[in-house]
Amino acid sequence: MLGQAVANLGETIPLFFTLNNMILISAGVLFGLFVGAIPGFSTSMALVLLLPFTFGINPINGLSLMIGVLIGSISGGLVTTNILGIASSSSSIPSLWDGHTLSKKGEGAYSVGIALWASFFGGMISWAVLVTFAPMIARIGLQFGPWDFFALMVFSLTIAASVSSGTMTKGLLATGLGLLVALVGRDPISGVNRFTFDIPFLTSGFEILVVLIGVFAFSQRLYDMQDRERTHRSMGGGSIRFEGIPHLRAVKTNLQNWPTLLRSSLIGVFIGVVPALGGNVSSILAYDQERKLARPEQKFGEGEPAGIIAPEAANNADAGGSLTVLMALGIPGDIVSVVLLAALTLHNVAPSPMFITDHPTIAYTIYISFLVASILMVFFQSITIRFFLLLRWVPDYLINLVLFLCAMGVFVWAGTFDSLWVLLLFGLFGYAMRSLGFPIAPFILGAVLAEPVEVNLVRSLSSSADVSLFFIRPWAMLFWVLTLYSLLFPLYHSMGRRWRIIQSLYYPSLGLLLSIPLFMMGSFGAAIAGLLFILVSVWGGYTAMQRQKAIQN
Amino acid sequence: MISRTRVEVIAALVLCVFCGIGWQQALLIRHPRLVEVSPGLFPMVCLAFVSICSVAYLIQAFSGTVRSEAEEGERGALWLLNPAICIVLFTGFILALPYLGILISGTAFMVLLFSFTGRRDAKGLITNFLVAFGCSATMWASMRWIFRVYIPSGSLTGF
């Protein structure tokens, strides 16, 4: 296994470290840092806009560019967050609480340094997880049949709906609408027209990329420009004195807080693995966790270094987690992964458990790009920091040029004027969704996963008429249990005092039910995992009941 | 001004109508003789799912129990002004594109959009023009010479 990895690495390195590719990855990191520093310009938006332009270049260059943008944009916001006190995205908000406070005490450069190196170390820890676990999970994925894949995808869709913002009904509706939009056009298996209304234009269906740009980027801008006061605002004024980043001091602080760094990175990776949860959840969760574990001398909210390290490390580690699932199983965990999935599909590479084995050069390009981009991010962030501070003068309304970039991206990709009308249609649709409080992520996941879900459903039904196989195969059963519990999650979350005993049994019962398919798998490792689930569940259930009794008494 | 609850009810009703149209189309999907699993099966499963959710949403909207993460509060028509202007301008941009080409129609679209949604004084207009032209020209040049993508010339301008 190690020999194969070394051979793959040896094959990829000469293709990766070319002048052309290094220019592209550097440009990607710089562009990412630039857009990351602008509030209202998210990582996903940058990737969505860039995607059509990677069509004409080879997959190694295209993926290097996109990973560069991904890593750059995640960290791009730390300058505006720490120095100006303006969160460029929701995931940067926890960094404000301590980062900007430290900055106000005259330690702006130190605060940026801590955040910068926490981002780097968080990225490195998630990179290690990606390189180690993606091939391992992929090997598990090789045991999956179409029934198991179907159940896994249904689980991804339901969890996306249940954990997204808004009500559960709206999340599920968004998922269903995403599935339906992707079904318009000719059926890929039988060639029969579906939902075309006998309109020739609809026969080829909606290009997923155009739908993605419309619903995600175009509608976001339409939504943001509603606030007429905000469109005239820029990030701030006045002169800012900024000395160079004290790198050694910042690295030392990060290493002194290594438990925080490790815990937060692992939280980030875990959140990245769960579909539809994103960087904002991981950074808030990591910050909250560290605050709870704080020593008495640590004053969170008053410029505590651990309060800067936790959200930044978790935020960057999140990317590695979602990439692990994407590379191992071909399931996109968040919108960023959806765009990367689209990028791979663009180059005729379909992520699946066979992805790393069948396309080692592409897989190793992702690994190396992640590592190189993280190093370049530290370098470029250090030298361009003064330039990015100038971005505070850019008024919000100038960001409306995103709409033109959306149009150009779609035009480059589809090459027809009709595609621009589709962009406008889905832009309006996304705007309506946002205005009504419908979550966007489940819609996009639905649209992207519709085809693989249907293909696996048809494969399952074609290979056996026995419908029970959807439920009695161990992996399928495991995913159905998770699906059921993800659907019950909002109910569990909103239960009042009267139902507290039932509420306390949510996780123990989940553990017990999960142990059944694990025992059915027949392997020693799975049986041990099943036994552990039972022990933890019984212990968890017992302590929860004891706690309830104590409260009642 | 329409109340939030009424907007939710209208949205739920639109979804129910959409489902009705969807069912009408789903029932028209042919089942070729040689294909084992009907091509209409999965669309019908999805439609059934969306229909159930739409009815649930309608009930919630009527009872006023639907919660939303969207910014609450009553907002006047002014709140929709910028998006409405943008949509009109974008429609104009698409219509003008075959005649004026990307460079001119793109610049015009952005200058008008920036001016309607942002600063309109002399200094602002110059900034708007420079940003719009810079962005449009960069895209036009990169598509033509870097990405080598086919871009149709404007029939009136020739580029």
Determine, for residues B50 and A437 on separate chains, whether the beta-carbon distance falls below 8 Å: no
Residue B97, Cβ density class (10 Å: 0-12 exposed, 13-18 middle, ≥19 buried): buried
What pLDDT is stored for residue A345 in this prediction?
A: 77
Which one of B47, B69, B148 has the shortest CB-CB distance to A437? B69
Question: Average of pLDDT values for A249-259?
Answer: 92
Q: Which is more confident, A298 or A512?
A: A512
What pLDDT is stored for residue A4 in this prediction?
A: 76
Would you call B9 an interface residue with chain A, using a CB distance cutoff of 8 Å? no
What pLDDT is stored for residue B73 in this prediction?
A: 52
Torsion of CA A389, A393, A399, A400, to 10 degrees: 180
Would you call B50 an interface residue with chain A, using a CB distance cutoff of 8 Å? yes
Compute the distance between CA of residue A307 and CA of residue A278 in angstroms, rounded to an integer.
19
Q: What is the full DSSP assignment across A373-393?
A: HHHHHHHHHHHHHHHHHHGGG
**Whether the predicted pLDDT of A277 surpasses 70:** no
Residues B85 and B142 both lie in one domain: yes
Which one of A169, A183, A400 has the shortest CB-CB distance to B43? A183
> B-chain residues within 8 Å CB-CB of A167?
60, 66-68
The phi and psi torsions of A186 (rounded to 5 degrees) equal -80, 135
Determine, for residues A192 and B90 on separate chains, whether the beta-carbon distance falls below 8 Å: no
Three-state secondary structure string covering A140-183: HHCCCCHHHHHHHHHHHHHHHHHHCCCCHHHHHHHHHHHHHHHH
Give A464's pLDDT tier (boundaries 50, 70, 90).
Answer: confident
Determine, for residues B94 and A179 on separate chains, whether the beta-carbon distance falls below 8 Å: no
Which one of B11, B40, B147 has the shortest CB-CB distance to A436? B11
Residues B82 and B141 both lie in one domain: yes
pLDDT in tens, A487-539: 888 777 777 666 777 777 888 888 899 999 999 998 898 899 999 999 988 88
**Whether the predicted pLDDT of B114 surpasses 70:** yes
Give me the residues of B, 75-134, that contact A with CB < 8 A: 78-83, 86-87, 90-91, 93-94, 97-98, 102, 106, 109-110, 113-114, 117-119, 127-128, 131-132
CB–CB of A423/A406 below 8 Å?
A: yes
CB–CB of A287/A93 below 8 Å?
A: no
Compute the distance between CA of residue A493 and CA of residue A486 in angstroms, rounded to an integer.
11
CA distances from A152 to A253, A275, A452, B89 (A): 41, 11, 11, 43
A138: its two tokens: 């992929």
Determine, for residues B90 and A53 on separate chains, whether the beta-carbon distance falls below 8 Å: no
Candidate ranges A330-339, A391-400, A456-465; pick with highest mean pLDDT: A456-465
What pLDDT is stored for residue A424 in this prediction?
A: 96
Residues B54 and B10 both lie in one domain: yes
> Out of A37-46, B8-17, B19-28, B131-140, which region has the weakest mean confidence (pLDDT)?
A37-46
A55: its two tokens: 């069509």
Three-state secondary structure string covering A192-249: CEECCCCCHHHHCCCCHHHHHHHHHHHHHHHHHCCCHHHHHCCCCCCCCCCCCCCHHH
Q: Which residue of chain B has the CA closest to A411?
A: B151
Which one of A398, A427, A436 has the shortest CB-CB distance to B131? A398
**Whether the predicted pLDDT of A351 surpasses 90:** no
What pLDDT is stored for residue A234 in this prediction?
A: 64
Determine, for residues A180 and B22 on separate chains, whether the beta-carbon distance falls below 8 Å: yes
- Give me the residue spans of the domains in chain A: 2-235+245-461, 473-552
Give A339's pLDDT tier (boundaries 50, 70, 90).
Answer: confident
Candidate ranges A206-215, A436-445, B102-111; pick with highest mean pLDDT: B102-111
Which one of A53, A227, A454 has the shortest CB-CB distance to B147? A53
Candidates B37, B81, B125, B146: best to mutate against A (most CBs of A within 10 A) is: B37
Candidate ranges A336-345, A544-553, B79-88; pick with highest mean pLDDT: B79-88
Question: Average of pLDDT values for A476-484?
Answer: 93
What pLDDT is stored for residue A497 in this prediction?
A: 65
Determine, for residues B29 and A432 on separate chains, whether the beta-carbon distance falls below 8 Å: no
Q: Which residue of chain A has the CA closest to B55?
A: A169
What pLDDT is stored for residue A124 in this prediction?
A: 92
Candidate ranges A144-153, A380-389, A504-513; pick with highest mean pLDDT: A144-153
Candidates A435, A459, A461, A464: best to mutate against B (most CBs of B within 10 A) is: A435
Compute the distance between CA of residue A94 and CA of residue A527 in angstroms, rounded to an integer.
40
Give residue A276's region: left, alpha or beta (phi > 0; psi -120 to 50). Answer: left
Q: What is the DSSP letter of B151?
A: -
Determine, for residues A173 and B57 on separate chains, whether the beta-carbon distance falls below 8 Å: yes
Residue where one domain finishes, among candidates B33, B63, B93 = B63
**Whether the predicted pLDDT of A211 surpasses 70:** yes
pLDDT in tens, A32-83: 888 887 776 778 788 888 887 777 788 888 889 989 998 888 888 787 777 7
What pLDDT is stored for residue A118 in this prediction?
A: 92
Tell me if residue A185 falls in helix, strand or coil.
strand
The answer for residues whose C-beta is within 8 angstroms of residue B157's C-beta and 6 or more apart is B99, B100, B101, B103, B104
Give A196's pLDDT tier (boundaries 50, 70, 90).
Answer: very high
> B-chain residues within 8 Å CB-CB of A411?
102, 151
Candidates B25, B41, B42, B112: best to mutate against A (most CBs of A within 10 A) is: B42
Give A236's pLDDT tier (boundaries 50, 70, 90).
Answer: low
Would you call B35 an interface residue with chain A, using a CB distance cutoff of 8 Å? yes
Residue where one domain finishes, among candidates B18, B33, B63 = B63
Compute the distance between CA of residue B121 and CA of residue A106 in angstroms, rounded to an integer.
37
The answer for residues whose C-beta is within 8 angstroms of residue B22's C-beta and 6 or more apart is A180, A195, B43, B47, B50
Give A382's pLDDT tier (boundaries 50, 70, 90).
Answer: confident
CB–CB of A177/A496 below 8 Å?
A: no
CB pairs under 8 A between A and B: 178
Give the residue numbers spanning the domain of B23: 4-63
Identity of the residue numbered B116: F
CB–CB of A43/A336 below 8 Å?
A: yes
The answer for residues whose C-beta is within 8 angstroms of residue B123's C-beta and 6 or more apart is none
pLDDT in tens, B50-109: 999 999 999 999 887 775 555 555 566 778 899 999 999 999 999 999 999 889 999 999
**Whether the predicted pLDDT of A195 surpasses 80:** yes
Would you call B27 an interface residue with chain A, using a CB distance cutoff of 8 Å? no
What pLDDT is stored for residue A376 in this prediction?
A: 94
Q: At what angle do helices A43-50 and A59-76 cross, to 10 degrees?
A: 160
**Whether the predicted pLDDT of B132 surpasses 90:** yes
Give A130's pLDDT tier (boundaries 50, 70, 90).
Answer: confident
Would you call B64 an interface residue with chain A, using a CB distance cutoff of 8 Å? no
Would you call B26 an interface residue with chain A, using a CB distance cutoff of 8 Å? yes
Question: Average of pLDDT values for A294-322?
Answer: 85
Q: Which is more confident, A463 or A243?
A: A463
What pLDDT is stored for residue A42 in this prediction?
A: 75
Compute the distance between CA of residue A232 and CA of residue A235 in angstroms, rounded to an integer.
10
Which one of B22, B97, B117 has the shortest CB-CB distance to A400? B117
pLDDT in tens, A153-165: 898 888 777 766 5
Would you call B155 an interface residue with chain A, using a CB distance cutoff of 8 Å? no
**Whether the predicted pLDDT of B36 surpasses 90:** no
Determine, for residues B50 and A405 on separate chains, whether the beta-carbon distance falls below 8 Å: no
Residue where one domain finishes, among candidates B63, B93, B112 = B63
- The candidate with the shortest Cα–Cα distance to A291, out of A319, A255, A267, A321, is A267
Residues B142 and B82 both lie in one domain: yes
Compute the distance between CA of residue A410 and CA of residue A412 in angstroms, rounded to an integer.
5
Cα-Cα-Cα-Cα dihedral sign, residues B138, B143, B145, B151: negative
> B-chain residues within 8 Å CB-CB of A400?
86, 110, 113-114, 117-118
A191: its two tokens: 């060639």
What pLDDT is stored for residue A80 in this prediction?
A: 76
B68 within some domain? no
What pLDDT is stored for residue A352 in this prediction?
A: 78
> B-chain residues within 8 Å CB-CB of A415?
149-150
CA distances from A270 to A265, A314, A327, A515 (A): 9, 9, 15, 20
Compute the distance between CA of residue A280 and CA of residue A276 in angstroms, rounded to an integer.
11
- The candidate with the shortest Cα–Cα distance to A68, out of A315, A374, A402, A387, is A374
Compute the distance between CA of residue A44 and CA of residue A90 in angstroms, rounded to an integer.
13
CB–CB of A13/A372 below 8 Å?
A: no
Determine, for residues A395 and B117 on separate chains, whether the beta-carbon distance falls below 8 Å: no
Identity of the residue numbered A93: I
> B-chain residues within 8 Å CB-CB of A398?
114, 118, 127-128, 131
What pLDDT is stored for residue A337 in this prediction?
A: 81
What pLDDT is stored for residue B59 in this prediction?
A: 93
Candidates A162, A187, A196: best to mutate against B (most CBs of B within 10 A) is: A187
Give B43's pLDDT tier (boundaries 50, 70, 90).
Answer: very high
Question: Average of pLDDT values for A257-265?
Answer: 92
CB–CB of B106/B154 below 8 Å?
A: no
Question: Average of pLDDT values for A2-22?
Answer: 85
Which one of A192, A400, A428 has the shortest CB-CB distance to B29? A192
Which one of B30, B42, B150 has the shortest CB-CB distance to A457? B42
Question: Average of pLDDT values for B18-46?
Answer: 91
CA distances from A406 to A226, A299, A364, B18, B21 (A): 19, 44, 30, 27, 30
Mean pLDDT, chain A, whole residue set: 84
Compute the distance between CA of residue A360 and CA of residue A342 in angstroms, rounded to an integer.
18
**Whether the predicted pLDDT of A242 surpasses 90:** no
